[in-house]
Chain A
Amino acid sequence: MYSLVKQKDTVNKWMERFGVRFGIYKSGNFHEQLFPFDPIPRVISHKDWVEIEAGLIQRVNALNMFLEDVYNDKSIVKAGIIPEEFIYSSSGYMAQCEGITPSKKIFSHISGIDLVQAKDGKWIVLEDNLRIPSGASYPMIARTITRKVSPETFKENAVFDNRNYSTLIRKAMDHVNVDNGLQVILTPGRYNSAYFEHSYLAEKAGVILAFADDLIVENDTVYYKGLFDKRERVGVIYRRISDEYLDPLAFESTSLLGVPNLMRAYAKGNVAIMNALGNGVADDKGIYYFVPKMVEYYLGEKAILQNAPTYLPYFEEDKKYVLENLKTLVIKDVAEAGGYGVMFGREMNDEQLANIKHLIETEPRRWIAQEVIDFIDLEIMEGEERIYRKADLRAFVISEAETKVWHSGLTRYTRSPTSFIVNSSQGGGFKDTWIMKK
Chain B
Amino acid sequence: MPNGTVTVGRDSFGNLIRNGYIGDYHNYFEFEATGIVEQTYYCIEEKLNPLYLYPSKYTQPMKDIQKLLDGVTLPPEATTLEKVVLLSAELRKFLAYESGVTSIQTTAEEALVIGKGVCQDFSHILIALCRKNGIPARYVSGFMKGEGFTHAWIEYYENGVWYGFDPTHDRCIETGYIKIAHGRDYSDCALDKGVFSGLAQQKLEVFLKVEEQQQ
Q: Do A and B come from one complex?
A: yes
Could you tell me which residues of chain A, from 92 to 111, have a CB within 8 Å of some CB in chain B?
A: 95-99
Q: A219-B5, A220-B7 are in contact. Are A264 and B19 (CB under 8 A)?
A: yes
Complex alpha-carbon distance, A282 and B184, angstroms: 21
What distance in Å separates the Cβ of B59 from its nearest Cβ neighbour in chain A? 11
Mask, B144-160, CB within 8 Å of A = 1, is 00000000000000000
Complex alpha-carbon distance, A310 and B95, angstroms: 42
Smallest Cβ-Cβ distance to A94: which chain B residue:
B12
Say yes or no for B50: interface residue by CB 8 A criterion. Answer: yes
Q: A249-B193, A253-B193 are in contact. Are A95 and B12 (CB under 8 A)?
A: yes
* Neighbouring A residues of B5 by C-beta, 8 Å: 219
Q: Cβ of B195 and Cβ of A99 under 8 Å apart? A: no
Say yes or no for B11: interface residue by CB 8 A criterion. Answer: yes
* Neighbouring B residues of A213 by C-beta, 8 Å: 197
Smallest Cβ-Cβ distance to B5: which chain A residue:
A219
Mask, B11-33, CB within 8 Å of A = 1, is 11100000101010000000000
Q: How large is the interface on A (under 10, 10 to 19, 20 to 34, 35 or more residues)?
A: 20 to 34
Q: Cβ of B195 and Cβ of A260 under 8 Å apart? A: yes
Say yes or no for B9: interface residue by CB 8 A criterion. Answer: yes
What distance in Å separates the Cβ of B34 from its nearest Cβ neighbour in chain A? 23
Complex alpha-carbon distance, A140 and B9, angstroms: 44
Complex alpha-carbon distance, A216 and B23, angstroms: 10
Complex alpha-carbon distance, A220 and B10, angstroms: 13
Complex alpha-carbon distance, A437 and B184, angstroms: 53
Q: Cβ of A98 and Cβ of B50 under 8 Å apart? A: no
Q: Cβ of A88 and Cβ of B195 under 8 Å apart? A: no
What distance in Å separates the Cβ of A368 from its nearest Cβ neighbour in chain B? 18
Q: A95-B184, A99-B12, A219-B5 are in contact. Are A88 and B193 (CB under 8 A)?
A: no
Q: Cβ of B54 and Cβ of A88 under 8 Å apart? A: yes
* Neighbouring B residues of A36 by C-beta, 8 Å: none
* Neighbouring A residues of B7 by C-beta, 8 Å: 219-220, 264
Across the interface, B194 reaches (CB within 8 A) one of A95, A97, A249, A362, namely A249
Complex alpha-carbon distance, A88 and B21, angstroms: 33
What distance in Å separates the Cβ of B3 from its nearest Cβ neighbour in chain A? 14
Complex alpha-carbon distance, A96 and B9, angstroms: 13
Say yes or no for A73: interface residue by CB 8 A criterion. Answer: no
Say yes or no for B51: interface residue by CB 8 A criterion. Answer: yes
* Neighbouring B residues of A98 by C-beta, 8 Å: 12
* Neighbouring B residues of A361 by C-beta, 8 Å: none
Complex alpha-carbon distance, A314 and B197, angstroms: 46
Say yes or no for A89: interface residue by CB 8 A criterion. Answer: yes
Q: Cβ of A97 and Cβ of B193 under 8 Å apart? A: no
* Neighbouring A residues of B12 by C-beta, 8 Å: 95-99
What distance in Å separates the Cβ of A218 from its nearest Cβ neighbour in chain B? 7
Q: Cβ of B55 and Cβ of A89 under 8 Å apart? A: yes
Mask, A176-212, CB within 8 Å of B = 1, is 0000000000000000000000000000000000000
Q: A85-B54, A264-B19 are in contact. Are A96 and B11 (CB under 8 A)?
A: yes
Say yes or no for A214: interface residue by CB 8 A criterion. Answer: no
* Neighbouring B residues of A84 by C-beta, 8 Å: 50
Say yes or no for A248: interface residue by CB 8 A criterion. Answer: yes
Say yes or no for A261: interface residue by CB 8 A criterion. Answer: yes
* Neighbouring A residues of B194 by C-beta, 8 Å: 249
Q: Cβ of A264 and Cβ of B9 under 8 Å apart? A: yes
Across the interface, A261 reaches (CB within 8 A) one of B13, B19, B50, B53, namely B19
* Neighbouring A residues of B195 by C-beta, 8 Å: 248-249, 253, 260
* Neighbouring A residues of B193 by C-beta, 8 Å: 249, 253
Could you tell me which residues of chain A, from 213 to 239, have a CB within 8 Å of some CB in chain B?
A: 213, 216, 218-220
Complex alpha-carbon distance, A401 and B108, angstroms: 46
Name A's B-contacting residues (CB within 8 A): 84-85, 88-89, 95-99, 213, 216, 218-220, 248-249, 253, 260-261, 264, 362
Q: What 3 A-B pairs are tightest by C-beta distance, nearest first?
A: A88-B54, A89-B54, A98-B12
The 22 sampled A-B contact pairs (Cβ below 8 Å) are: A84-B50, A85-B54, A88-B54, A89-B54, A95-B51, A95-B188, A99-B12, A216-B23, A218-B21, A218-B23, A219-B5, A219-B7, A248-B195, A249-B193, A249-B194, A249-B195, A253-B195, A261-B19, A261-B21, A264-B9, A264-B19, A362-B66
Add 20 more A-B contacts to A96-B11, A218-B21, A362-B66 (CB < 8 A): A84-B50, A85-B54, A88-B51, A88-B53, A89-B55, A95-B51, A95-B188, A97-B12, A98-B12, A213-B197, A218-B23, A219-B5, A249-B193, A253-B193, A260-B21, A261-B19, A261-B21, A264-B7, A264-B9, A264-B19
